Chains A and B, each alone.
Chain A
Amino acid sequence: MGTLELKKEKKVMTGNHAVAYAVKLSKAQIISAYPITPQTSIVEKLSEFIEKGEMNARIIKVESEHSALAAVYGAAIAGARAFTATSSHGLLYMHEWVHWFSRARIPAVMAVVTRTIGPPWNIWPDHSDFMDQRDSGWIMSYAMDNQEVFDLVIQAFKVSEDPSVYLPAMVGLEGFILGGTSMPVEIPEENSVLDFLGERRQPYSVADEIISVGNLTSPEETEQIQMGIQNAMGRAREVIKKVDEEFGRAFGRSYGGLASCYKCGDAKYVVVTMGAWSGDALEAIDVLRDNGIDAGLLRIRYVRPFPIEEVREALSNARLGIVFDRSLSFGGFGQLYSDIASSIIGSGTKKNLVNVISGLGGVNISSDDFVQAIKSIIESYESEGYVHPFLWYHQGEVMKYQHIKA
């Protein structure tokens, strides 16, 4: 495949349409979804493909997101490559099925066009809906731009259907920032994606065997089923890296696996981000470097499985880690921060780590904001010798959260 001259075309499209093209090329057979802003244009585009005869799939119309994921589950346990997409409250309404799906160990893919949770009613993006699914046993990846959206959806099918993984996979992209913004996306030739993915694989099928799924069993077996999911997540780390490399050989783009690093090697200050604002953070790193500040960026691409090794490696030589979270576990910390702190403690080293909560509810954070926030945190760290572990960055100001002692 590597030596083959691939036919590719570049199209300008929104992140949502990039999802739809990836699902079309992955030859998904069953799609079920319920409309919700900012997801709807994914399924609209897929309906258009099917209506024009460009895609051989069926859409199951449902009355809710809960039923949408249930329909996808039914299709998937019967052997179909199946897909759904949702956002915000739709995802929360699906939540019961999100857990059921992964514990049943059935591969499928969902796009989550992330949007904050109300009240107040809103349509703007942050990561709170996505991060709310963190403990569900799904493979969870998050894109930085529309090309990566396209690539991650295809890779999600491949990872999810790998026999050493067999877990459903969700791909996150911010609503509007990616979902509704047009960028050039390279679309490979139709059959090359199918060659890359190969045939669908799954551990059992209700269409082929007489089986009962999810019947009552003993507490011990129930515990073993959950241990199996954690083991599958462990193996998924290697599968994700392998799939990322294979994808690079087939289509010319590789991202470095579970996380990607920009100038982390010699960085004294490692900034951590996830999602679309990582593009702004990348620009900020260059500005900081021009100002003589040795900063680097670690971009989290997979929340589950969490890139434990990559985090330890990226932060090994840093004096300070600055973790920006665009979602918050109220009463605790940002979810990325908690996982990064746990990963580092597990390696037996101590590290100064600060959590910055920002961009909630769709507040726009530009590269200038990143420069300003990071500079201010580094200055206070270098002059005072410590940094408050929990900071807000809100409307141009770094503020200490007064209820935790530094």
Chain B
Amino acid sequence: MVITMKLVKTEDKLPISYPSEGAAGKTGTWRLERPIVNNEMCTRCFLCEIYCPGNVITVDKEGAHIDYNYCKGCGICVKVCPKNAIKMEPEEE
């Protein structure tokens, strides 16, 4: 005979959390410089998407799109872009 396991809730507060957008805050607020993509120059090579350590760049047929809510402005995309299609610009504030 093998024992089985059943999930039964408790009324007490538990130290668990479920994944949700921005659960640990919007990390885009940490950014000092913002990467700007010129999609006229972009060849859709996907290197920026592959190299982005924050997983915030999506490349589709329109070009590269950056989620500024979570981009921390590290600039790796600028370095890996073979066409120099991405430039860093200072944040306003």
Contacts and interface: CB of A to CB of B under 8 A. Distances in A.
Contact of B16 (A201, A213, A227, A232): A213
Interface in A171-207: 191, 194, 197, 199-205
A332 B5 CA distance: 44
Contacts of B23: 215
B19 A203 contact: no
A203 B10 contact: yes
Interface string A270-281: 000000000000
Contacts of A215: 15-17, 23-24
14 contacts: A104-B15, A105-B10, A163-B9, A166-B10, A194-B3, A199-B5, A203-B8, A205-B7, A212-B16, A212-B17, A213-B15, A215-B15, A215-B17, A215-B24
Nearest to A201: B8
Given A103-B15, A217-B17, A79 B10 contact: no
Contact of B7 (A105, A203, A221, A228): A203
A27 interface: yes
Given A27-B1, A163-B9, A163-B10, A214 B18 contact: no
B3 A200 contact: yes
A229 B12 CA distance: 8
Contact of A210 (B9, B13, B18): B18
Contact of B18 (A203, A205, A211): A211
Contact of B12 (A56, A200, A228): A228
Contacts of B7: 201-205, 208
Given A210-B19, A211-B17, A217-B17, A199 B3 contact: yes
What's the interface size class on A, roughly?
35 or more
Contact of A199 (B4, B12, B16, B19): B4
B93 to A, nearest CB: 26
B3 A27 contact: yes
Interface string B1-40: 1111111111011111111000110000000000000000
Looking at chain A's contact residues, the main secondary structure is: loop
Interface residues of B, number: 20
Contact of A204 (B1, B2, B3, B14): B14
B26 to A, nearest CB: 15
B4 A200 contact: yes
A232 B12 contact: yes
A203 B17 CA distance: 13
A216 interface: yes
Contact of A221 (B1, B4, B13): B13
Given A163-B8, A199-B6, A224 B1 contact: no
A224 B15 CA distance: 10
Contacts of A214: 15-16
Contacts of A166: 10, 12
A17 interface: no
Contacts of A81: 3
B12 A211 contact: no
A376 interface: no
A200 B2 CA distance: 11
B15 A200 contact: no
Interface string B31-55: 0000000000000000000000000
A104 B2 CA distance: 25
A163 B8 CA distance: 7
A67 interface: no
Contacts of B10: 105, 163-164, 166, 203, 228, 232
